[in-house]
Amino acid sequence: MKFSDRLVSTLRNAQSVCALTGAGISAESGVPTFRGEEGLWKKFRPEELANFNAFIRNPDLVWEWYAYRRKLIRDVKPNPGHFGLVDLERCKKHVTIVTQNVDNLHRRAGSENVVELHGNIERSYCIQCHAFVDEPSPEPLTSVPMCVTCGGLVRPDVVWFGEMLPVEAFSKAESAARHCELFFCIGTSAVVFPAASLPYTALDHGALVVEINREETDLSSRAQEVLIGKAGEILPDLLAQAGIRHEEHL
């Protein structure tokens, strides 16, 4: 793909970059996205699974869904899209990866400054005493565990609909969006708020906003650069054209 001179030179010169990522960046690793033809929610209805009331109504069903996804995520590896962001972080002064994903793949790839807006599927906590709980068995449990301290139900440490995002994480994300020169919005349908507000914050504060997605989204008409295709192909290609050092990743 041929990229615009504006994009290549901004990428070359920017010292402060923010990247908002969504399920699409992990799709090439084999993690299903949420929406669309291949989306997780073609098979499971979100209102049945991704909210607190659904958990209280049917904790075993919700736990089993997360146990299934946790296992799936453990069996996959980061892909060139994740590694591209690692390369970027290694050659720029300020890079913030703001992710809506709960799959831990940015950290597993080697990214360090990662802000998790929707939690992390690897962690769980007790809804009663709020203690963090390790999943006791390496095999996924098909029924919800109870807290060993107080007997409360254990839930995944993720953000469901109607729940607040972690305050510190969102404030760090907003600050990165306000202060960056270049903002990437990668592999997200950009429909879930408040994460979806971040590209607009970046635009309002003068950043060049670049969307990378397999298809257009609501953001596409506002982003200055819209790159249609797979993140795992576009990102490495773009970084190479900007002369950003590519490192060997395991």
Which residues participate in catalysis according to the annotation?
118
- The yes or no reply on residue 158 touching ligand BJW (CB under 6 A) is yes
Closest by CA position to 79, among listed 123, 31, 33, 119: 31
Distance of CA 213 to the CA centre of its chain: 14
CA-to-CA distance for 11 and 244, rounded, in angstroms? 9
By CB under 6 A, is residue 33 in contact with ligand BJW?
A: yes
Q: Given the complex with ligand BJW, which of 10 and 100 has the nearer CB atom?
A: 100
Spell out, one character per residue from 106 to 125, where the chain touches ligand BJW: x when CB under 6 A holds, - when not: ------------x-------
Q: Is 152 in the site for ligand BJW (CB under 6 A)?
A: no
Q: Does 82 bind ligand BJW (CB under 6 A)?
A: no
- Closest to 176 (Cα-Cα) out of 198, 159, 192, 155: 198
- Which of 18, 207, 209, 231 is close enough to bind ligand BJW by CB under 6 A? 231
Give just the sign of the alpha carbon dihedral 173, 178, 184, 188.
Answer: positive
For ligand BJW, the binding residue among 94, 107, 172, 214 (CB under 6 A) is 214
Residue with smaller CB distance to ligand BJW, 22 or 145: 22
Q: Which of 221, 223, 184 is nearest to 95 (CA)?
A: 184
Q: Using CB under 6 A as the criterion, which residues of the chain lie in contact with ligand BJW when the complex forms?
A: 22-24, 27-28, 33-36, 39, 50, 100, 102, 118, 158-165, 187-189, 191-194, 212-215, 217, 230-231
